[in-house]
Structure 1
Amino acid sequence: MGSEKKRGVGRRAVLLGGGATVVGAAVLARDELRRAWWRLPGTEKERVDGELDHKGADWSAAARANWRRADRPDDFTIDRVVIHVVQGSYATALKVFRNPGHGAATHYVVRKDGHVAQMIRELDVAFHAGNRDMNERSVGIEHEGFVDRPQDFTAAMYEGSARLTAGICARYGIPVDREHIIGHVEVEGTDHTDPGPHWDWPRYMRLVREASARLASPTPPGRPSAKAAPKLR
């Protein structure tokens, strides 16, 4: 064995380490204050509770315990869409997310026929991903059905959900790719498996891209669309 003496932790190291902790805490506190400025009296932005972010959706409010009031994207950048599957029916999802004891909810629920319910405003943080950072930066979309039943993922559901996701991506400048549109199973630290092996990602992403292209190049007013039949002379 060598004769080297044990090296203890010096006082300077303790002081430096403690200083780093204090500085780190100060930075975190400053960041939280910066994000919360709009909550101060006289500065909170006006909002209309129940106002829809997605045209054509029905409003069905989630229990207040299942989300956190925020002012996204001013306090938290939105750069992800997380795809979920209920493991149940559309009605079950609405019922569960209205239950304050459940502790979780998504912003949207999509039915098999493509109909969309909005339960939480996009500017607020939904407890849906099982990861605080992902909750703060994402919009969650739940889909009716079961992960082991591919027949639950209908054409109408894919199309309705794709239009919804394309609108979210357009509003916040989210790239339409698999890095930014993810499944619940891909969220770090989660133990969920949805949307499961039967969710057709290539099909879904194609539909999202097509819907995004339509949003980017709407038909000018007064002009027929490219698919319109020519008038007979």
Structure 2
Amino acid sequence: MNIIKKLSPNKYNGRNGWKPDMIVCHITEGSYEGAISWLTNPASKASAHFVVAKDGRITQLVELTDGSWCNGTSTDPNSKVYYGKSTLKTVRERKTNANYYTVSIEHEGIWAQSKGKLTDAQLAATIELIKYIRSEVKRIYGIEIPIDREHIVGHYQINPVTKPNCPGSEFQFDAIIAALKGENPTVQQPESKPTLYRVQVGAYSIRANADAQAAKLKSKGYDTYIVIAGGLYKVQVGAYSQKANAEAMANRLKGDGFNCFITTEAGTPAGNATITNPVPILKVGAKVKVKNTATKYSTGQTIPNWVKGNTYTVQQIGDGKVLLKEIVSWVNTSDVEVVG
């Protein structure tokens, strides 16, 4: 997880003796860049600890050891933001400014359009961010932020009078809680499919010639498959989500004396006459197993033993990492094995 830092002057220095044990989710009512610009502007007199974009980018504006100006409460019973109006028992009992003991996350969006529903990338980023926040709070303060709806909350629970729709009725609190507990949240598969780079070794009008080339490749230790596209039988070796991996395979083939080129063209499988054990493809929707030798998620947290050796679905592919749907966590590609 990559967190960009652009610190805001709008903050409390420290937390007035309190320790953060509550995470408050918000919606920006504007763009990611606009929110960052406004929350770092002294004239706004507002800030948040983090802002999460629709595409999953994250910017930190306030250190976790300082209080942000995002969901303050008043001790004045006549105020609309009086702590006694909160629907949370903890807020009412503490009788102080909620900014002292909360961590605030703003999410790019417009309530009228989404009712707070996060994009898949935004939801995944938020789950990873909350894991990071809980880990850092444990490291700095020695306390665990509980995984429940009394401690992972919406702004509307802090200030129901002034912020009744923040972050919105469609905000995926249940999916976030489930993912943090290691359960299976409801997260939709991205609709877009990644480009796959295929290494092609010849195209033939006669199937027997394609079979002969495939047999030659197999004798050199390559797994191959044959597809039909444009009326030709095309012999291919692998399909890769990253072009660099396809180029590495092409260089290996050229070193063994094969002429080849890289294409993004797919085709219809032409049967399995000379093809055995086709190359498993790392792509969205693929099934992967987390290796028993894996130690850390790509975000730095320790991978628990119950995750290792199990099979998961690839939901998203990043730079050297994959997002696994069932546990909503980023794992380094070197720590997973494609099994189907």
**CA offset digits 1:10-38 (Å, max 9, x no partner):** xxxxxxxxxxxxxxxxxxxxxxxxxxxxx
Equivalent in the alignment of 1:122: 64
- Taking the TM superposition and a 5 Å limit, the aligned residue runs for 1:1-233 are 56-62=2-8, 64=9, 66-70=10-14, 75-131=17-73, 133-150=97-114, 153-172=118-137, 173-188=144-159, 191-192=162-163, 193-210=165-182, 218=303, 226-227=310-311, 228-229=336-337
Q: Cα 1:190–1:133, aligned 2, differ >3 Å: closer, same or farther?
A: farther
**CA offset digits 1:62-93 (Å, max 9, x no partner):** 1x1x21111x5x93111100000000010110
| Residues 26 and 167 in structure 2, CA contact (< 8 A), matched pair in contact too | yes
User: How many residue pairs align between the two structures?
Assistant: 169
Stretches of structure 1 lacking an aligned partner (at least 5 in a row): 1-54
DSSP 3-state at the match of 1:83: strand
Deviation of 1:188 after TM superposition, in Å, equals 4.2
Separation in structure 1 between the aligned mates of residue 152 and residue 97 of structure 2, nearest angstrom: 15
Separation in structure 2 between the aligned mates of residue 225 and residue 217 of structure 1, nearest angstrom: 15
Q: Cα 1:199–1:101, aligned 2, differ >3 Å: closer, same or farther?
A: same
Q: TM-score, normalised by structure 1?
A: 0.64
Stretches of structure 2 lacking an aligned partner (at least 5 in a row): 74-95, 138-143, 184-296, 312-335
| Residues 117 and 172 in structure 2, CA contact (< 8 A), matched pair in contact too | no
| Residues 169 and 176 in structure 1, CA contact (< 8 A), matched pair in contact too | no
Separation in structure 1 between the aligned mates of residue 117 and residue 31 of structure 2, nearest angstrom: 10
DSSP 3-state at the match of 1:114: coil
- Answer with 1 or 2: which has the greater Rg: 2
Deviation of 1:217 after TM superposition, in Å, equals 5.0
**CA offset digits 1:36-78 (Å, max 9, x no partner):** xxxxxxxxxxxxxxxxxxx52001121x1x21111x5x93111
Moved over 6 A (4+): none
Separation in structure 2 between the aligned mates of residue 199 and residue 161 of structure 1, nearest angstrom: 11
- One-letter code of the match for 1:183? G
Deviation of 1:219 after TM superposition, in Å, equals 5.9
DSSP 3-state at the match of 2:337: coil
Deviation of 1:171 after TM superposition, in Å, equals 3.2
Pick 1 or 2: higher relative contact order, CA cutoff 8 A, min separation 6. 1
Separation in structure 2 between the aligned mates of residue 93 and residue 230 of structure 1, nearest angstrom: 39
Separation in structure 1 between the aligned mates of residue 4 and residue 149 of structure 2, nearest angstrom: 28
What is the percentage of aligned positions where both structures have the same residue?
26
Deviation of 1:216 after TM superposition, in Å, equals 7.0
DSSP 3-state at the match of 2:106: strand
Q: Cα 1:188–1:88, aligned 2, differ >3 Å: closer, same or farther?
A: closer
Separation in structure 2 between the aligned mates of residue 160 and residue 92 of structure 1, nearest angstrom: 19
Q: Which structure: greater strand fraction? A: 2
Separation in structure 2 between the aligned mates of residue 134 and residue 190 of structure 1, nearest angstrom: 15
| Residues 148 and 198 in structure 1, CA contact (< 8 A), matched pair in contact too | no
